[in-house]
Each structure stands twice: as structure tokens, then as C-alpha cells.
Amino acid sequence: MRRADRNGTAGEREVGRAGDARLLHRPATANSYPTRWVWSRLDVACLGVFDRPHSTPVIVDHGAYLARSQDVRSGVFRAELAARVSEGIYRDRTARAEPRRGDLLYSREGTYFGIAAEVPPGMQVCLGQRMVLIRPNPEIVDFRFLRHWLNSPTMSAHIQGYRDGSVAERLNLPTIRALPVAIPPHREQRAIAHILGTLDDKIELNRRMNETLETMARALFKSWFVDFDPVRAKAEGRDPGLPKPVAGLFPDSFEDSELGERPKGWHVGAVSDEFDLTMGQSPPGETYNESGEGVPFYQGRADFGFRYPTRRVYCTAATRFAAPGDALITVRAPVGDINMAREVCAVGRGVAAARHKTASRSYSFQHVSPLHSRVEVNERDSAALAALRDTLLPKLLSGEIRLKDVERQVDAVL
């Protein structure tokens, strides 16, 4: 039995686990998938799709992790950014289903809705607001394959027709349970998940390496330019522990200033003395697009990634720009988040661009050049891997290319 659904695609009746007839709305691209792949509703391919308690949990300093939509925006659960809850709240929020390895965290509402991430092994995680838990049936679908399917361009386009929030984007639970899944044979599922997972693992490794380098750079900057440790060591007749050319850049005594003691010969200035500032301004709304026309446009914190902003929106009528290497600073709530421009980009009224007049961009961004350079290499590497993954993902998930050809290509890249 078939009928047209509200997205203009055909719906099919499919028998669920209990023998009841359930309507299956295939995506518009369904006919491009191999005939050996089986279409199923998400709830038929899973052991359960679980909601969370409709309450706002109390956040604590230590305890189980609370998964929110912003913690899964990259398709990986970012535990280092996640909030924590008490053991009691964890038990309450996992009473229906305790997240475990093989489950997926899925964001149903907000800026980052429609994104799936795996539950990390050996970690206590409960659902925050705007999240649901998906428990795949391993006899039907591999959870790693399902994560890639839910994050695919096919599903991203499909769920746009089911948003029901006027302010925040939102998917209701019946819609999520009825999402279509194209299921290849198990061997193909595992091969596809392995190929895409290998690229994801390398991207995640680069991200973690960059976070370590970032921590080192911040500590080094604080030691040199906030605590003045090399100057103090030289003033006290101690070895500052730096190579001679670097140690020679620091004075060996302090002098008084209106801000307290400062290294001798260093001066106090205003931001406007040292930086060229560009305050953002938002062009008319009809000049924005998500198709890549114009220049990348950054409005505030939602666009900020780890080191460089994430391209989401473009603008064809921008008037305020940042150059590569400029520090980007949020000037509307929340104020003070920092990022760096990797290319010419437009800045909206929620962002200001700062360019140091004489020093390196690393100094402007409060970093040290050698560490910054390594971070940049890793970022470029990850961007190339992400581009390859995003190119392969729809082709693999539609059976368009042969698995062995892709495996050789990925092996060559890595």
C-alpha cells in the first residue's frame, strides 16, 4: 500500500515487531539505493528509542556525564565539554534505559538537532534536555553504521520536512521513531562503518592532539607574559630553562607601572594602540545562504569551533571583514569567546575582529608560534580528511562505489 507523504515521497506499509502495520516514509533519494538493501523504520531496526525525563537537572562539579545537543555536534560525544550530574539524578534519568556501548545519543532539538553520536565505552552518561537514546538491534543494524546513516546528507535533507519548532528546530519522538533506514547486508554495514570510522578516528586523534597543544600553549603564554616566569628567574639569578636565544629576549628585572610591576622596558598600552579592530555588522537577512555563495559569515558563539569557525552560513552583501589570522571575539552574550579566522570572512554584529599591528597572529590569539603551527597542520589534515569522509559518505551509503576501491583510497590517504 502506497501513498504520497508530506515530503512528496512515497510511503510504504511495513510490518513492525509486534505485527502491526507501520507507515514508512522513504527519503526522496530512495530509488538510488541498491535493491539488495532493505528499508526499515528506525524503531523496527532498534530495540528501543527512549526519551529523557522532562526536567532540568542540577549540575555538579563531579559525577556522571550529561549529554546535551552541543556535546554531540561533531558526531562524537565530547565528554570534556559535558556537564556532570549527581548519582541520584543519573539513576533517575536512566531508569528507563541506561546508556551503554552500542547505543546512540541523538539530538532532537536546537541548533545542533538531528545529530547522532556513539555512547563511549565504560562511561556513565545520561540524557540532557533535547536528547533521545537509540538502542539498535545488533541482529538488524550495526550501531556504527547507523550513526553514519543518521548523520548522512540523505537524512539531514529528510528531517528538514519534519521540523515542528517555530523558535528552536525540533523533531518529536514519533517522527524520530519513524525515520527511514536503508540497511545493507551485515558485511557491507561493517565495511562501511570501518572505512568511515577510520577517517573519524584520525580526525578525533588530531582534535585531541590539538587540545593538548592548546593547553601547552596557554600554559606557556601565561608563564611568559602573565606570570613573567623567565624574568623572575633571571632577576633571581636562576636559569630560566629556555634556549639562550629565547632567554635573551626577556629582561632581568622589573619596574613599576600603573598596573603593578612589569618587566623592565616593556610598556603598558591600550587595545586600540596595539590592535586594529573591526566591529561586526549584520547585512540584510535575505543575503544569507547555506549554499556557499559569497564569503563565510560568522555571527557569534554558535559558529565557533576548536580553533577556526565552522562554515555554516555565507553572505553575499557583507560589509565588515576579518583577514586570515585575525582573532575573532564574541561581543554579545556570551562575551569573550575567542576564535581565529583562517580565511577572509564576514563578521556579524555579535563578533569583532582584532589584528595586531606588529606582532604575530599567534601573539594576538595568545599563543606561541611553533605550537600554533603544529595545531594548524593538524587542522588542515583534519579538514582534508573530513572532506574525503563527506565525499565518500553519501556514495558508500547509496552503494554507488565499490568498498574495496574506497578501502584502497583511504589506506593511501592515511
pLDDT in tens, 264-320: 999 888 888 888 999 999 888 888 887 889 999 998 877 887 777 888 889 999 999
Mean pLDDT of 372-387: 80
pLDDT in tens, 184-230: 999 999 999 999 999 988 988 888 888 888 888 888 888 988 899 99
Give me 325's grid cell.
589570522
Host H or E run for residue 385: helix 369-396
Q: Decide if 276 contacts 295 (C-beta within 8 A).
A: no
Q: Is it the case that residue 45 has pLDDT exceeding 50?
A: yes
Out of 163-177, 315-329, 389-403, the most confident range is 315-329
Q: Is 192 helix (H, G, I), strand (E, B) or coil?
A: helix
- What was the pLDDT predicted at 285? 82
For Cα atoms 14, 19, 23, give the angle at the middle one, nearest 5 degrees. 30
DSSP labels for 216-270? HHHHHHHHHHTS-HHHHHHHTT---SS-HHHHTTS-S-EEEETTEEEETT-----
| Residue ranges covered by each domain of the chain | 2-184, 185-227+368-414
Q: Which residues are bridge partners to 114 per DSSP?
A: none
Q: Is it the case that residue 111 has pLDDT exceeding 50?
A: yes
Who contacts 104 (Cβ-Cβ below 8 Å, separation ≥6)? 116, 117, 118, 119, 133, 134, 135, 136, 143, 146, 147, 150
Torsion of Cα atoms, 193 then 376 then 280 then 276, to 10°: 180
Q: Decide if 178 contacts 41 (C-beta within 8 A).
A: yes
Q: Is it the case that residue 366 has pLDDT exceeding 80?
A: no
In this structure, whether the domain defined by 2-184 belongs to CATH 3.20.20.70 is answered with no
Who contacts 61 (Cβ-Cβ below 8 Å, separation ≥6)? 84
Mean pLDDT of 175-186: 94
- What was the pLDDT predicted at 398? 79
Measured distance CA(414)–CA(401) in Å, rounded? 19
Give me 327's grid cell.
582573532
> Omega into 334 within 30° of 0, i.e. cis?
yes
Who contacts 95 (Cβ-Cβ below 8 Å, separation ≥6)? none
Return the amino acid letter for 6: R
Percent of the chain with pLDDT over 90: 43
Q: How many alpha carbons lie under 13 Å from residue 114 in its C-beta half-sphere?
A: 22
Measured distance CA(31)–CA(395) in Å, rounded? 14
Measured distance CA(117)–CA(128) in Å, rounded? 14
Higher pLDDT, 84 or 33: 84
Least confident of 163-167, 315-319, 331-335, 339-343: 163-167
Out of 197-201, 252-256, 337-341, 382-386, the most confident range is 252-256
Mutual angle of helices 186-225 and 403-413, in 10-degree steps: 20
- What was the pLDDT predicted at 364? 57
Mutual angle of helices 186-225 and 369-396, in 10-degree steps: 160
Q: How many alpha carbons lie under 13 Å from residue 397 in its C-beta half-sphere?
A: 26
Q: Is it the case that residue 407 has pLDDT exceeding 80?
A: no
- What was the pLDDT predicted at 80? 86
Measured distance CA(27)–CA(38) in Å, rounded? 13
Q: Is 19 helix (H, G, I), strand (E, B) or coil?
A: coil
Q: Is it the case that residue 105 has pLDDT exceeding 70?
A: yes
Mean pLDDT of 36-46: 94
Give me 41's grid cell.
523504520
Percent of the chain with pLDDT over 70: 89
Higher pLDDT, 309 or 41: 41
- Of the candidates 359, 367, 314, the one whose C-alpha atom is nearest the C-alpha of residue 338 is 367
- What was the pLDDT predicted at 367? 42
Least confident of 85-94, 179-188, 355-364: 355-364
- What was the pLDDT predicted at 372? 66
Q: Is it the case that residue 38 has pLDDT exceeding 80?
A: yes
Least confident of 156-160, 241-245, 271-275, 355-359: 355-359
* pLDDT, averaged across the chain: 85
- What was the pLDDT predicted at 368? 64
Give me 203's grid cell.
580526525
Mean pLDDT of 178-183: 95
Q: Is it the case that residue 168 has pLDDT exceeding 60?
A: no
Q: For the chain, report the end-to-end CA distance as a whole number of angstroms.
A: 47
Q: Tell whether pTM > 0.85.
A: no
Q: Is it the case that residue 134 has pLDDT exceeding 90?
A: yes
